Structure 1
Amino acid sequence: MHAQPSLISDSIQSYIQRAEKLQEEYKYEESLEIAKAALQNAQFNNDDKSLGYIYNIIAKNYEISEDDTKARSNYRRAMTHARSSKSKVLETDLYNNLARVYTKHNLTRSKGVGYYKKSYEFAVELNDTARMIRPLLNLGEYYISRNDFDSAYEYLAPARELIHENSSNLDKTKLNGLLGRYFLNVRRYEVAEEYIDRAISYSLGETKNKNNNDELISTYYEELASAYETKSELYKKQQDYQNAYNYQKKQFQNILRAKDFKKLIELQRANIKYEVDQYEEKIKKAETEKKESVAEVTKWKISIILGIILILISMAFLISAYNNNIQKKKLNSVLIEKNKELISAKETAEQVSTLKSQFISTVSHELRTPLYGVIGLTSLLMEDPDKKKKTEYLESLKFSGDYLLALINDVLQLSKIETNEVKLEKVSFDIRSLIEGIVNSLHTKQKSNDNTVHIDIDKNINTTLLGDSVRLSQILINLIGNALKFTKNGNIWVSVKCLQNNEDSYDLRFIVKDDGIGIPKNKQQTIFDNFAQVKNENQEYEGTGLGLAIVKKLIQLHNSEIKIKSQEGKGSEFYFDLTYEKAVKEEEISLQSGENLSIGTSNFYVLIVDDNKINQIVTQNILKKKGYTCNIASNGMAAIEMLKKEKFDLVLMDINMPEMNGLEATKVIRTFNTHIPIIALTAVEEGEIRNQALSVGMNDVIIKPYDTQQFFQTIMRNISKVKMA
């Protein structure tokens, strides 16, 4: 008596397993019959757990048959029994299944998204990685389909952390395909291409895997088509229309292959249903015609064979008609796509024109404002106002000049980033010296608003790192400068925390926090847009409005994102995570950081080579204040003659000059004087001229206008190498 419930329970499990197997073999009618038989036993035994699994199978059968109303109803019944039996695993699966059905329809879409999130929360509680990945990918795919790429990345980022070598190839394929689409739409084309190529590689491999059933192969062909579509869009955005067209063709080919496999599945289902119907008919006939002769049985078999032949012929006609229809649709689809491309190109051209007008309008405004200050203040100084006013005018004049320089530098920097000209370098630097140097350089801004800056670097970090210190400096200068600008009589905290100490690298979190005016919630996303600052009508011009746009793009170059926490009136906190390799401190770091060099004297004889009279006066007076003796040459030819007659300690060489430019002059000088330090003093962008300058024999480059302290550090460093050699 006591053994029977156990036997019945075993029998129910056997029924469930058979129903699931039949479902995998496309035998949905039989799967449904077995599930209903199991349902009666489970109801008799009040077995909630089994009832949950059975209703889940029944619901999935209805979902496959596209009867979403019955699918939803049975999934909800399954959920009731899963909760009653406290089966968290089943609840997790059911939330994901319900979400899949609900997100198909506009009216229930938001509810479906909520179910995906619940599925993920339950999977986290279970610590079940595979079940955590599934809703994350579904949510990522959902938001990308809605063109909400920021929301999509919130779910794709943790999915990327969870997926590993042993994860299913379908998960890897979906993740890489979705990340490819995300990075394409944030214009990080190189990263996008890497992910797309991985998705293509996984899909191609699995379409040839003989262990996969037709339905799975069809899914991989769909993923392959999607990846080729993304790659076509990638080339289209890079204006490589030939490759864009080639990958579009591959997309169509794989859509057709996926449909071919789906058609095979439909034919298999039809054939199975036909066989089931024939089998039932055969049983009925066998019961009523047991005493019929062998001749009648033979006739019956012949009729069956003829029936099958007729069905096969019908199928051949259907497949032929289907292929013809596909060809027509394909040609029509190509025409539609080409029309879309033309419309898209027209919209892009209009958008570019609008952006160009907006850019010119904004930049011209930003140039005119400080230029008005420069011209106006110069006029006032020329009229010889009171001596008390002169200092005030000169300070304002310098501020306007600094602002103009900042605007030009920011526009050039943003242009380089957006045309992929900025590449990350690897140099050894000291993180503490770098941050302290930045804070010291902003001392005037710090003092003007009476702020205090606090620096906190995690003790677990060996402060000598390997990475791009210049880009990190640009990021921190902008963030700390903004904090100082928008905080008065307050505090700014600059922190570096060690998130993970790896064998060869550190995962670091950089935090810049202030207790200033804060940022309203509705503006926290737009502050990273180009010229966001200048759009603020309540502020006088105090910045180019490009700083945070540059910060965001530089951090994205490091494959990271900047985050913000802020409350109006209570301050702001910006933070981002970067990885740096560990490095051994180089001897030159102290030299590069600007330590004083003792080489016996500071009365050096310097030749200034520059064709611009104003530049000659400025450079000569800066050097004379330091105790240097100067002479001037107005072009490269004059410089060569003077160097042959006189002995100089250093040459400051302009690049663009009449008669003979600085590069040509340096080549000639190096034929008779190989040791004298020659430093390019130029207004040309450093990235464009440094390699050329060094290749002709120059020792260093200083970009005009320059920071005076750095100017003398560069001069001392180059003279010392010769004097101490």
Structure 2
Amino acid sequence: MKNFFTYIITIFLVCHLQNSRAQNSLSADSIHLYIKKAEKLQDQYKYDESLEIAKIALQNAAFNDDSKSKGLIHTIIAKNYEINEDDHEAKSNYLKALTYSQISKNKPLETDLYNNLARLYSKDKNTYQKGIHYYNQSYKFAVRLNDTSRMIRPLLNLSSLYINRKAYNKAYNYLSPAKKLIGNHTSSLDQVRLHVLLGKYYISTERYEKAEKYLKEAIFHSKREASINDKSKNNELTSNFYQQLATAYKAKSMLYYIQRDFKSAYDYQQEYVDNLLKAINLKNIIELQKANVKYQVGQYKEQIKQADEDKAERASQVIKWRIIIALGTILILISMAFLLSAYKNNTQKRKLNNDLLEKNKELLIAKEAAEQVSTLKSQFISTVSHELRTPLYGVIGLTSLLMENPEEKKRNEYLESLKFSGDYLLALINDVLQLSKIETNEVKLEKVSFDLRSLIEGIVNSLHTKQKSNNNTALIDIDPKINSTLLGDSVRLSQILINLIGNALKFTKDGNIWVKVQCLEYKNNVYKLRFTVKDNGIGIPKSKQKTIFDNFAQVKNQNLEYEGTGLGLAIVKKLIQLHDSEIHIISEEGVGSEFYFDLTYEKAIKAHEIALKTGEAISIGTSNFYVLIVDDNKINQIVTQNILKKKGYTCDVASNGMDAIEKLRSEKFDLVLMDINMPEMNGLDATKIIREFNPNIPVIALTAVEEGEVRNQALSVGMNDVIIKPYDTQQFFQTIMKNISKMKLM
């Protein structure tokens, strides 16, 4: 039937042409007119007519050996096939058009054809690399032509392609030049596309203010252009702007969802769905228009055929029946196409509604979670505020009493209380920071060699004051089958045990605390160990045992001076879970509590003690080392100086990085303790310069900044180690000796 209509149109056109020119010899001007006619019919959705006229023009262009026209005609034919989703024929004709554009040296057409081919090839994951190549070719040719609009098109297409594949850095390589090219002369659709793509890019790189700015611009321009084109009845362009508007709202919903503003995320999700439906409805109207055009074309063809039949004195009745059947088939196909389109539209609407309902559920859950977080936040601020004020009151009050020159006995008592308040404040701050790090997945387990017995004995000894205050005795029992030197994260194990042993000492009076390590299994140089911390203290009520590991959970005990924030066991639970294990509790009120958990560690070879090449071991406090303290805070200078002088060290002080550089150029020091944040020149910049003229001297960062934030920076500029203020004095000197020893061995 298609061949039949092709035959009718061809006869009509041939008859028309025979009145003025020979059948196969159209002039170049006439071919150009037919090209324009084919393009116009294409814009009117009359694809069959457009193809027929293009093919006639192609025959005559071939007869005249007109390569330029052949390139243009194959482009029209390819576009017809692409619109009707016949990508194979579209590619074939675009490639032919490309060949003829190269022969005729039609550079603007060649540029457009590379972009069109890229669009088709990038649809398929197996050929998208070829698509990227064609986009780049299109951009190169546009640059040679100095044609801004042709340059922008492939840049935006490449940006969109890479953003969809989450290759954001590559996307920005094309967004950046596109951003520079876009101006008032650029089409509104390209401006909107750029703003949407920039918004998506900045969301991916967590620059939310910039993302907000560009998405706001995209929404404003899309709304304005959609309204303008809607009034002019340009359904195709209006649909495109509604599609971009929907995309911008979807990105904005994601932006607010990431920032945990779930209400705004929900509202923008609604806007996304509304505008997407508007775009879909306009596309359905366009499809209906296309169907109507096809129907009108069918009527037009029937009239031509009827006229020909009249001239031929009413051809046979068989032909009439063919026409009737053909028209009936066309009407049925049009009806079916319309029904299918309506069905697809309804299916898509149902799917969108279902997706929206699911998204609404997620957002409602997120909203409830946000409210819960808000409640926890208020609880956290209230609890921490109370816990900070209590020891701070003690610090300020005791300091005032000390300034009044009390008798010696009272002075020692006040100093002990002052130290206790300071230690409590430090523990509180460390707990809050530790919990924050764990919950943001910043804590990673490390593997280092450590001595298990030394670690546990060190922890128990460090808690001696707590033992003494409640008259407790701590007992250590380590299975003799365990090799004392293990490989694992000793820092996290210390944090777990310090919290558990500290709690046992805190909630026990005149009693015992047992710290036990048992070997459950040893296989392939790997130990499975059970750690147990047991006490005979006040115990934990059954009603509290399920919630004791929650944030802020506390066991009330009126006899204790400080109850704490209730973060210790929450941290313990999360640290043990990082080891893929769980903590268990056995407790009875008034009898005592037992906490136990299982961890695995590899057997390690114990490291030999570091000694000088001369054979003389360096021990803490036995050598008079010369240390430069670089710190802008006078109190910190005094504290560090006095700690070092008690061990027999000699010190000098610099108040900033520039002073430190001058002193190091003129004097010879054994070690530098370098603060990070200082006026005039900070510690990082100073270390870079020091390393230019003194590459060997140990430089240790002595800073109050959290270690995770500063360690990589410090090591990258040439520092040897990091000590966090406030510090444990024993660890402080161990770090100093370790680094001086390394330098002496060089």
1:670 alignment partner, SS class = helix
Taking a change above 3 Å as real, the CA distance of residues 412 and 534 of structure 1, as seen in their structure-2 partners, is farther
Q: Deviations over 1:301-356 (max 9, x none)?
A: xxxxxxxxxxxxxxxxxxxxx99999897565434323323433432332222222
Matched to 2:658, the amino acid is M
1:377 aligns with 2:422: no
Taking a change above 3 Å as real, the CA distance of residues 326 and 694 of structure 1, as seen in their structure-2 partners, is closer
**Residue 702 of structure 2 is aligned with which of 663, 668, 681?**
681
1:663 aligns with 2:699: no
Question: Which residue of structure 1 lines up, in the alignment, with residue 475 of structure 2?
Answer: 454
Mapping of residues 602-641 of structure 1, within 5 Å: 602-641=623-662
Q: Deviations over 1:250-300 (max 9, x none)?
A: xxxxxxxxxxxxxxxxxxxxxxxxxxxxxxxxxxxxxxxxxxxxxxxxxxx
Q: Give distance in 2, aligned partners of 1:367 and 1:413.
A: 17
1:356 aligns with 2:377: yes
1:472 alignment partner, SS class = helix
Question: Which residue of structure 2 lines up, in the alignment, with residue 576 of structure 1?
Answer: 597
Q: Give distance in 2, aligned partners of 1:326 and 1:590.
A: 78
Q: Give distance in 2, aligned partners of 1:422 and 1:589.
A: 30
Taking a change above 3 Å as real, the CA distance of residues 452 and 237 of structure 1, as seen in their structure-2 partners, is farther
Taking a change above 3 Å as real, the CA distance of residues 393 and 682 of structure 1, as seen in their structure-2 partners, is same
Question: Which residue of structure 1 lines up, in the alignment, with residue 420 of structure 2?
Answer: 399
**Residue 562 of structure 1 is aligned with which of 568, 572, 583?**
583
Q: Deviations over 1:491-540 (max 9, x none)?
A: 21111112222223122111111111111111112221222238766643
Instruction: Decide which moves more: 412-421 or 473-482.
Output: 473-482
1:390 aligns with 2:416: no
Q: Give distance in 1, aligned partners of 2:593 and 2:503.
A: 10
Taking a change above 3 Å as real, the CA distance of residues 451 and 599 of structure 1, as seen in their structure-2 partners, is closer
Mapping of residues 133-148 of structure 1, within 5 Å: none
Q: Give distance in 1, aligned partners of 2:601 and 2:362.
A: 43
Taking a change above 3 Å as real, the CA distance of residues 585 and 324 of structure 1, as seen in their structure-2 partners, is same
**Residue 387 of structure 2 is aligned with which of 358, 361, 366?**
366
Cα pair 2:500 2:569 within 8 Å, conserved = yes
Cα pair 2:476 2:516 within 8 Å, conserved = yes
Mapping of residues 236-251 of structure 1, within 5 Å: none
Question: Which residue of structure 2 lines up, in the alignment, with residue 690 of structure 1?
Answer: 711
1:498 alignment partner, SS class = strand
Cα pair 2:656 2:678 within 8 Å, conserved = yes
Q: Give distance in 1, aligned partners of 2:700 and 2:582.
A: 38
Matched to 1:657, the amino acid is M
Matched to 1:488, the amino acid is K
Mapping of residues 428-577 of structure 1, within 5 Å: 428-533=449-554, 539-577=560-598
Question: Gaps spanning 5+ residues in structure 2: where?
Answer: 1-256, 270-342
Cα pair 2:625 2:650 within 8 Å, conserved = yes
Mapping of residues 168-183 of structure 1, within 5 Å: none
Taking a change above 3 Å as real, the CA distance of residues 336 and 676 of structure 1, as seen in their structure-2 partners, is closer
* Coordinate RMSD, CA, aligned: 3.3
Mapping of residues 418-429 of structure 1, within 5 Å: 418-429=439-450
Taking a change above 3 Å as real, the CA distance of residues 611 and 335 of structure 1, as seen in their structure-2 partners, is closer
1:719 aligns with 2:740: yes
Cα pair 1:599 1:720 within 8 Å, conserved = no
Cα pair 1:534 1:543 within 8 Å, conserved = no
Instruction: Decide which moves more: 497-506 or 603-612.
Output: 497-506
Q: Deviations over 1:619-665 (max 9, x none)?
A: 11111121211111100000100111111111111110000001111
Q: Give distance in 2, aligned partners of 1:695 and 1:329.
A: 56
Question: Gaps spanning 5+ residues in structure 1: where?
Answer: 1-235, 246-321
Cα pair 1:534 1:541 within 8 Å, conserved = no
Structure label with greater radius of gyration: 2
Q: Give distance in 2, aligned partners of 1:483 and 1:617.
A: 36
1:533 alignment partner, SS class = coil
Cα pair 1:654 1:682 within 8 Å, conserved = yes
Q: Give distance in 1, aligned partners of 2:739 and 2:690.
A: 17
1:675 alignment partner, SS class = coil
Taking a change above 3 Å as real, the CA distance of residues 335 and 438 of structure 1, as seen in their structure-2 partners, is same
Question: What is the TM-score when the length of structure 1 is the normalising length?
Answer: 0.53
Mapping of residues 156-305 of structure 1, within 5 Å: none
Cα pair 2:706 2:724 within 8 Å, conserved = yes
Superposition deviation, residue 579 in structure 1: 1.5
Mapping of residues 290-329 of structure 1, within 5 Å: none
Matched to 1:392, the amino acid is E
Q: Give distance in 2, aligned partners of 1:436 and 1:547.
A: 20
Cα pair 1:456 1:495 within 8 Å, conserved = yes
1:526 alignment partner, SS class = coil
Q: Give distance in 2, aligned partners of 1:576 and 1:368.
A: 35
Superposition deviation, residue 690 in structure 1: 1.4
Cα pair 1:682 1:704 within 8 Å, conserved = yes
2:548 alignment partner, SS class = helix
Matched to 1:494, the amino acid is V
Matched to 1:473, the amino acid is S
**Residue 671 of structure 2 is aligned with which of 642, 650, 663?**
650
2:552 alignment partner, SS class = coil
Cα pair 2:611 2:618 within 8 Å, conserved = no
Matched to 2:571, the amino acid is I
Q: Give distance in 1, aligned partners of 2:560 and 2:537.
A: 15
Cα pair 2:707 2:724 within 8 Å, conserved = yes
1:381 alignment partner, SS class = helix
Cα pair 1:513 1:574 within 8 Å, conserved = yes
2:524 alignment partner, SS class = coil
Taking a change above 3 Å as real, the CA distance of residues 428 and 440 of structure 1, as seen in their structure-2 partners, is same
Taking a change above 3 Å as real, the CA distance of residues 718 and 686 of structure 1, as seen in their structure-2 partners, is same
Cα pair 1:406 1:544 within 8 Å, conserved = no
Matched to 2:665, the amino acid is K
Superposition deviation, residue 598 in structure 1: 4.1
Q: Deviations over 1:665-695 (max 9, x none)?
A: 1111111112211111111111211121112
1:413 aligns with 2:434: yes
Q: Give distance in 2, aligned partners of 1:323 and 1:573.
A: 64
Q: Deviations over 1:1-31 (max 9, x none)?
A: xxxxxxxxxxxxxxxxxxxxxxxxxxxxxxx
Q: Give distance in 1, aligned partners of 2:420 and 2:537.
A: 23
Matched to 1:558, the amino acid is H
2:424 alignment partner, SS class = helix
1:684 alignment partner, SS class = coil
Q: Give distance in 2, aligned partners of 1:647 and 1:590.
A: 22
Matched to 1:566, the amino acid is S
Superposition deviation, residue 724 in structure 1: 3.8
Matched to 2:381, the amino acid is I
Taking a change above 3 Å as real, the CA distance of residues 588 and 527 of structure 1, as seen in their structure-2 partners, is farther
Identity of matched residues, %: 83
Matched to 2:441, the amino acid is N
Aligned residues: 413
Taking a change above 3 Å as real, the CA distance of residues 342 and 699 of structure 1, as seen in their structure-2 partners, is closer
Mapping of residues 27-38 of structure 1, within 5 Å: none
Q: Give distance in 1, aligned partners of 2:406 and 2:620.
A: 45
